[in-house]
Structure 1
Amino acid sequence: MSEFALELRNLSKHFGVTRALDDASLRVRRGSVHGLVGENGAGKSTLIKVLAGIHRPDAGSLWVDGQPYSHFSPRQVAKLGIQFIHQERLLPASFTVGEALLFGQEIHRGPFVQRRAQQREAERLLDEHFGLSLPSGALIGELSCAEQQVVQITRALIAKPQVLVFDEPSVALVQREVEQLLGIVRRLREQGLAIIYISHYLQEIEHLCDRVTVLRNGRDVADVDPRETSLAEITRLMVNREVAEMYPKQAVALGEPLLEVKGLGRSPVYRDVDLQVRRGEIVGLTGLVGSGAKELLKSLFGLAPAQQGEIRLDGQPLDLGSAHQAVREGIALLPEERRRQGVALDLTVQENTTLASLSRFTRLGLVSADSERRQTEALIDDLAIKTSGPLAAVRQLSGGNQQKVALAKWLSRQSNLYLLDEPSVGIDIGAKVEIYRLIGTLVEQGAGVLLLSSDLPELLGLCDRIYVMHRGAIVAERKATDLDADSLLALASATHEEQEVRHVR
């Protein structure tokens, strides 16, 4: 018996003139967690689709339990004991837990499905694998992201897999749920499964994986032990640049105060907030879950108006009662939930880009498609958005490019104050650097940026000053150069109490 449960040897795959995989290899030992990392476009998705039998490789071979195959069919993949846990929860929202778990394996008596028996079996399976008692009659759409993931993993385990592939499983989870997920993966490793774990979050890779394969430009450029290789080195291997280059910050002369907040409050989430953002300045805002930071950002965009205090924009009092008013005043919000709130996935790049500024392209009630296209093409070039053109659906773009489109919408509006809520969540390192450069360009042009982030290196690398919130109040304001990650986390924790911390990305 081979020591490797799975081997992908020298795989190549072309799509027209594009070389998605170029002699790439991956070897996964039994009873181990093998990380797979790389920028968007590095070849991870293509490699996994070859493994799933969706793509047939142009060259190379696949080995399972020491047996070679030139390619797989999807049916063969399942028969060989390879299962996938996808980032998107592929469970019908209208199914019950029992129906989702046993779909295709229903319990029948004659032609009739035995729903009560099915619910009892679902409860037994959840208890057997995870010691959980989710209500088997609950609808999938009523469950949290973490609970849906447990159902998805349990469904995969029913097939008694030998290899389990986790594709960006923690994107929608908070820290407590991430820790639960990592505990599940460790337990599956102890049971002898071979696990491939794909994630942009290198802290997870460091704490979980036994080996890590790094893909870059379709090739495997390294296979390393994360306990002996620093995250900085893994990052360098991924992007082929030093980590110091990740936070491109230019010295910008600060202008007059753009945003001034005094004594702002909204019970019970925050109180007595004093805050200032100058033109040309990147100001950080951070805090643990429940600190009130996210609610404060919503208030500054008119989504949850403050009940007390004063907001001034360019020295003028501002009574923000709605998001529509905030947009009129030149305030932009890049929300954390990019796919649900930042962009309209089924609209084109052009439609998304001009969505907040249609009046600029409208005359006598008619929209000028030519003007829209010219503006969109200019922003595609300026932001280096990777797309087939202005009429491409945003759904087809990578996460980093969707984030650029969300930003292009406000650039088209010619906004002055940018409220950025976790702008680098769920995008790869290369795309993060490009977003950081765009943020720098905004302040160089005289805008002001308020950056809410739980990524401490991001805050320290980008910001001029950082405000820290704890239990609804600003507890510290510091120059970024006077802080490090440990001191910043200590400030956010205030008295170092046990609290639920967001996933530090």
Structure 2
Amino acid sequence: MMVEPLALRGITKTFGATRALDDANFVLRAGEIHGLIGQNGAGKSTIIKVLAGLYRPEAGTVAIGGKVLSHVTPRAVEAQGVHIIHQEPLLPPSFTVAEALFLGREPHLGPLLALRRMRKEAEKIVSAQFDISISGNALIGELSAAQRQVVQITRALLLHPRVLVFDEPTAALVRQEANRLFGIIRRLRDEGTAIVYISHYLEEVRDLCDRITILRSGRDVATVDPSATPMAEMVALMTNRTIGDMFPKRQVSRGGAVLAVRSLRRAGFFEDVTFSLHGGEILGLTGLLGSGAKEVLQALFGLGRVDGGEIAVRGQAVTIPSPGHAVARRLGLVPEDRRHQGIALDISVRENATLASLRKLTRFGLVDARRERQRVASLIQRLGIKTPGPETRTRDLSGGNQQKVVLAKWLSAQSDVYILDEPTVAVDVAAKVEIYRLLGDLTARGSAILILSSDLMELCGICDRILVMYRGRITRRVLPQETTANDILAAATGAGTSRDRPEAA
């Protein structure tokens, strides 16, 4: 019987009340490339961190080469020949290529480092493995994403790995670089290295892998042969959800265009991004990591540069070089990381709620305390913020109520456009429904909402239109009533044929 290079069985891992992995299994055979797929939050990252020895599970075993490890630590896993190529290469940017490759096993001439020998050996090894030329003296921080991947893979190969794990390796690569990486992975498999390949891009997983394991809600729901499994079936196994009553949707007449974006681009992140956002509308935006969707939101709020294109607010062309300019144009941003970017945790609900509107509450250089109290009391009531009082420290509220405080800040500023980045992440179901109802109230008042979300059911449930980004471009424009979460996920992974709607839709 052939020994399995890697086997994780019955893995359970919890974080507080959240069960990230629930009796999950993953078995890698010799001589294969084995894909691991699932939606965000399915447990992919968690199971890899268990394998890497970064998380200790409550139950389950990790076996390498048929041997169950009694203590799973990063050092023990590497000693058994398992190496992980992380999405963000963990190489010091100030190191040269030679220093990064030989870190921890540097050749010496007596007491001194053999720097010239290191450089020549580094260049020779990279050339032999990948048929490309990279200077051994080049700094890691100056290399392209593809070159950093090559250095990280080469460093792992010098340790003669039994198993290589690739975690979203093409997220920062252009198509030509990705194709070269696929050739390298296939060659490594043919030379005897077993490969685990994790990616959101279903088309490349299907084309590259010999088998695919699908995770959903912390469990392995299927292991399939990609050559015999339709893409739609894999997508359905990943989602297994339908729209229910948890998405209250208000029907609102759409007004005129409040925000218009034309041919917006930022080199290396997105290009030719064109769309309009109307009063009374919720416009959804989605895309996988590396699609450029998040960077588009940041650019609209002055948190990232643009290299070309046009932004217009209420028909007037504008530049938004900073968040201050965005606020002046009556744009508000609810960031994904509310605890570090959206609110100040150690000040009160009152102070957070009026943080973006203090100028409107100030007379002769002093805050009108009476007007401020009245406005905050109204916001607390309107948003249903559960707090002992306006002076309660924001840190002491639940996640859902903290999110409502962020929304209160922009309501107080009387924004016309609300840009929401994953607005319901890490909040409970009841709080989500309340937030959806609030968004409906905002549109009824004529506000325009642009929402970036990886929760595809959420987008289908609350949006009027949905834009799908893939590798820096908007590739699909769909109406929720004419599509499904499965179709959107397929489009986001480059595998879909969802109906495209014109911009006027």
**Which TM bucket (shorter chain)?**
0.5 to 0.7
* Correspondence for 1:255: 254
* Correspondence for 1:63: 63
**TM-score normalised over the length of structure 1:** 0.66
Deviations 1:20-44 (A, max 9, x none): 4333221111121212233444433
Task: Look up the equivalent residue of 2:197 and give its one-letter code.
Answer: Y
CA distance in 1, matches of 2:256, 2:459: 21
Task: Look up the equivalent residue of 2:61 and give its one-letter code.
Answer: S
Deviations 1:442-485 (A, max 9, x none): 646633246899xx9999995649899xxx9x9x9998999996
CA distance in 1, matches of 2:131, 2:380: 52
CA distance in 1, matches of 2:309, 2:408: 33
Q: Indicate if the aligned counterparts of 2:38 and 2:215 stay in contact, CA closer than 8 A.
A: yes
CA distance in 2, matches of 1:32, 1:208: 10
CA distance in 1, matches of 2:4, 2:410: 50
Structure 2 matches for 1:64-83, cutoff 5 A?
A: 64-83=64-83
C-alpha displacement at 1:274, in angstroms?
9.8
Q: Rate the CA distance shift 1:414–1:55 in 2: closer, same or farther, 3 A.
A: same
* Correspondence for 2:224: 224
* Correspondence for 1:358: 355
Aligned length: 452
Q: Indicate if the aligned counterparts of 1:300 and 1:320 stay in contact, CA closer than 8 A.
A: no
Q: Indicate if the aligned counterparts of 1:299 and 1:305 stay in contact, CA closer than 8 A.
A: no
Question: Secondary structure at the residue paired with 2:5?
Answer: strand
Question: Secondary structure at the residue paired with 1:4?
Answer: coil
Deviations 1:170-195 (A, max 9, x none): 33334443333333322322222111
CA distance in 1, matches of 2:478, 2:449: 16
* Correspondence for 1:53: 53
* Correspondence for 2:33: 33
* Correspondence for 2:112: 112
Name structure 1 gaps, 5 residues minimum. 383-388, 493-505
Q: Indicate if the aligned counterparts of 1:250 and 1:440 stay in contact, CA closer than 8 A.
A: no
The reply to whether residue 5 of structure 1 matches residue 5 of structure 2 is yes
Structure 2 matches for 1:197-208, cutoff 5 A?
A: 197-208=197-208
Name structure 2 gaps, 5 residues minimum. 268-272, 387-392, 488-495
Task: Look up the equivalent residue of 2:49 and give its one-letter code.
Answer: K
Question: Secondary structure at the residue paired with 1:50?
Answer: helix
Question: Secondary structure at the residue paired with 2:181?
Answer: helix
Q: Indicate if the aligned counterparts of 1:305 and 1:321 stay in contact, CA closer than 8 A.
A: no
Task: Give aligned-pair identity as a percent.
Answer: 41
Q: Indicate if the aligned counterparts of 1:466 and 1:480 stay in contact, CA closer than 8 A.
A: no
Task: Look up the equivalent residue of 1:228 and give its one-letter code.
Answer: A
Q: Rate the CA distance shift 1:222–1:151 in 2: closer, same or farther, 3 A.
A: same
C-alpha displacement at 1:240, in angstroms?
2.8
Q: Indicate if the aligned counterparts of 1:62 and 1:71 stay in contact, CA closer than 8 A.
A: no
C-alpha displacement at 1:83, in angstroms?
0.4
* Correspondence for 1:146: 146
Q: Indicate if the aligned counterparts of 2:332 and 2:418 stay in contact, CA closer than 8 A.
A: yes
Greater Cα offset, 153-162 or 7-16: 7-16
Q: Indicate if the aligned counterparts of 2:247 and 2:458 stay in contact, CA closer than 8 A.
A: no
Question: Secondary structure at the residue paired with 2:355?
Answer: helix
Q: Indicate if the aligned counterparts of 2:343 and 2:406 stay in contact, CA closer than 8 A.
A: no
Q: Rate the CA distance shift 1:266–1:204 in 2: closer, same or farther, 3 A.
A: closer
CA distance in 1, matches of 2:263, 2:217: 49
Q: Rate the CA distance shift 1:154–1:266 in 2: closer, same or farther, 3 A.
A: closer
* Correspondence for 1:43: 43
CA distance in 2, matches of 1:274, 1:46: 36
CA distance in 2, matches of 1:166, 1:196: 6
Q: Indicate if the aligned counterparts of 1:8 and 1:61 stay in contact, CA closer than 8 A.
A: yes
C-alpha displacement at 1:129, in angstroms?
1.5
* Correspondence for 2:95: 95
Question: Secondary structure at the residue paired with 1:150?
Answer: helix
Q: Indicate if the aligned counterparts of 2:479 and 2:501 stay in contact, CA closer than 8 A.
A: no
* Correspondence for 2:390: none
Q: Indicate if the aligned counterparts of 1:162 and 1:194 stay in contact, CA closer than 8 A.
A: yes
Task: Look up the equivalent residue of 2:99 and give its one-letter code.
Answer: E
C-alpha displacement at 1:207, in angstroms?
2.5
Structure 2 matches for 1:127-166, cutoff 5 A?
A: 127-166=127-166
Q: Indicate if the aligned counterparts of 1:85 and 1:165 stay in contact, CA closer than 8 A.
A: yes
Q: Rate the CA distance shift 1:150–1:357 in 2: closer, same or farther, 3 A.
A: farther
Question: Secondary structure at the residue paired with 1:415?
Answer: coil
* Correspondence for 1:125: 125
CA distance in 2, matches of 1:405, 1:178: 42
C-alpha displacement at 1:51, in angstroms?
1.9
